[in-house]
Chain A
Amino acid sequence: MTAVLDRRAKPLARPAPDRRVRRQNRLAWIARHSIAIALTVMFVTPVAYLVLLSLMTSDQALTSDYWPNSWHPENYWRVFEVTPLPHYLLNTVFYAVSSTTLVLLSSVPAAYALAKLKFRGRNALFLTVICVMMLPPQVVTVPLYLMWARYGLTGSLAPLIIPALFGDAFCIFLLRQFLLTIPSEYLDAARVDGCGEWRTLLRVVLPMARPGIAAAGLFQFFYCWNDYYGPLLYTSENEGAWTLTLGLASFHSVHHVDWNLVTAATVLAMAPLIIIFFFAQRAFVQGITLTGFKG
Chain B
Amino acid sequence: MNKRMPHALFALVTAGLLVTACTPATKENKIADPGTAVSGTVELWHFFTEREADAIDSVVKDFQAGHPNIKVTVKSGQDDSKVTQAIGAGNGPDIGLSYSTDIVGKFCASGAWVDLTQYINRDKVDLNQLNATTRSYTEYDGKRCAMPFLADAYGMFYNKDLFAKAGIDGPPKTLDELAEDAKKLTVRNPDGSLKTVGFLPLYDFYENSASHLAPTVGAKWLTDDGKSAVGTDPAWKTLITWQKSLVDWYGYDKLTKFRAGLGDEFSADNAFQKGQVAINIDAEFRLAFLKDQATNLKYGVAPIPTADPARYGGGYVTGNIVGISKNAKNPEAAWELIKYLTTDDAAVIKLSGLLKNIPTTTKAIADPTLNSDADFKTFIDIFTNPNSSTSPPSSSGPAYQDTFAKFLTDFQAGKVKDIDAGLAQADKQINSVMTLGG
Contact across chains for B78 and A250 when beta carbons are under 8 A apart: no
- One of A142, A143, A147, A253 near B50 (C-beta < 8 A): A253
Contact across chains for B78 and A236 when beta carbons are under 8 A apart: yes
Measured between beta carbons, the chain A residues less than 8 angstroms from B21 are 143, 146-147, 150
- One of B47, B266, B269 near A256 (C-beta < 8 A): B266
Interface 0/1 of B68-94, CB less than 8 Å to A: 000000010110001001101111000
Q: Residue B4 at the A interface, CB < 8 A?
A: no
Q: A143-B18, A149-B90, A254-B52 are in contact. Are A61 and B267 (CB under 8 A)?
A: yes
Closest to A251 in B: B50
C-alpha spacing A63/B293, complex, angstroms = 12
Interface 0/1 of B16-43, CB less than 8 Å to A: 0010011000000000000000000000
**Distance in Å from the Cβ of A148 to the closest Cβ of chain B?**
8
Q: Residue B49 at the A interface, CB < 8 A?
A: yes
Closest to A237 in B: B75
Closest to A65 in B: B269
Contact across chains for B293 and A59 when beta carbons are under 8 A apart: yes
C-alpha spacing A251/B99, complex, angstroms = 17
Interface range for A: 20 to 34
C-alpha spacing A62/B52, complex, angstroms = 22
Q: A63-B268, A150-B21, A236-B82 are in contact. Are A249 and B77 (CB under 8 A)?
A: yes
| Residues 35-83 of A at the B interface (beta carbon under 8 Å) | 59-64
A62, A150, A237, A252: which has the most chain B beta carbons within 10 Å? A237
Closest to A61 in B: B267
**Distance in Å from the Cβ of B122 to the closest Cβ of chain A?**
31
Closest to B43 in A: A237
Contact across chains for B48 and A254 when beta carbons are under 8 A apart: yes
Contact across chains for A254 and B99 when beta carbons are under 8 A apart: yes
Contact across chains for A253 and B48 when beta carbons are under 8 A apart: yes
Measured between beta carbons, the chain B residues less than 8 angstroms from A149 are 86, 89-91
Measured between beta carbons, the chain A residues less than 8 angstroms from B417 are none
Measured between beta carbons, the chain A residues less than 8 angstroms from B50 are 250-253
Q: Residue B7 at the A interface, CB < 8 A?
A: no
Contact across chains for A154 and B89 when beta carbons are under 8 A apart: yes
Contact across chains for A146 and B47 when beta carbons are under 8 A apart: no
| Residues 236-262 of A at the B interface (beta carbon under 8 Å) | 236-237, 249-257
C-alpha spacing A190/B392, complex, angstroms = 73
**Distance in Å from the Cβ of A29 to the closest Cβ of chain B?**
42
C-alpha spacing A236/B85, complex, angstroms = 12
A59, A63, A145, A154: which has the most chain B beta carbons within 10 Å? A63
**Distance in Å from the Cβ of B51 to the closest Cβ of chain A?**
7
| Residues 212-270 of A at the B interface (beta carbon under 8 Å) | 233, 236-237, 249-257
Closest to B52 in A: A253
Contact across chains for B78 and A237 when beta carbons are under 8 A apart: yes
**Distance in Å from the Cβ of B162 to the closest Cβ of chain A?**
20
**Distance in Å from the Cβ of B32 to the closest Cβ of chain A?**
28
List 9 A-B pairs, minimum CB-CB distance, nearest first: A149-B89, A63-B269, A59-B268, A253-B50, A62-B267, A146-B21, A253-B49, A146-B89, A255-B266
Other than A59-B267, A143-B18, A236-B77, give 14 A-B pairs with Cβ distance below 8 A. Answer: A63-B268, A146-B18, A147-B21, A150-B21, A150-B89, A237-B78, A237-B82, A237-B86, A250-B49, A250-B77, A252-B50, A253-B51, A254-B48, A256-B266
Residues of A within 8 A of B (CB): 59-64, 142-143, 145-147, 149-150, 154, 233, 236-237, 249-257
